[in-house]
Amino acid sequence: MHEIRAEIAANVWQVVVDEGQLIAEGDELVILESMKMEIPVVTEVPGVVRELHVQPDDVVQEGDLIALIDES
């Protein structure tokens, strides 16, 4: 399992994928908003979204878990 974590403190503006969805390297998972800027969170590995740990309007801190990607 590959962990996707927040790189900055931000609000979750949009969740672009669903659990169980097949994704490719570079796909957007979530869009964060910080200081009026949209920050896309992309995956570095292809696989299946196993768990989403955020939803719109959540607040994440640096290092918080956003999603788990099953690479197998």
- Distance, in Å, from the CA atom of 70 to the CA atom of 5, rounded to the nearest integer, reads 15
Whole-number Å distance between alpha carbons of 39 and 47: 22
* pTM, 2 dp: 0.87
Domains of the chain: 2-70 (2.40.50.100)
pLDDT tens-place string over residues 14-72 = 999 999 999 999 999 999 999 999 999 999 999 999 999 999 999 999 999 999 999 97
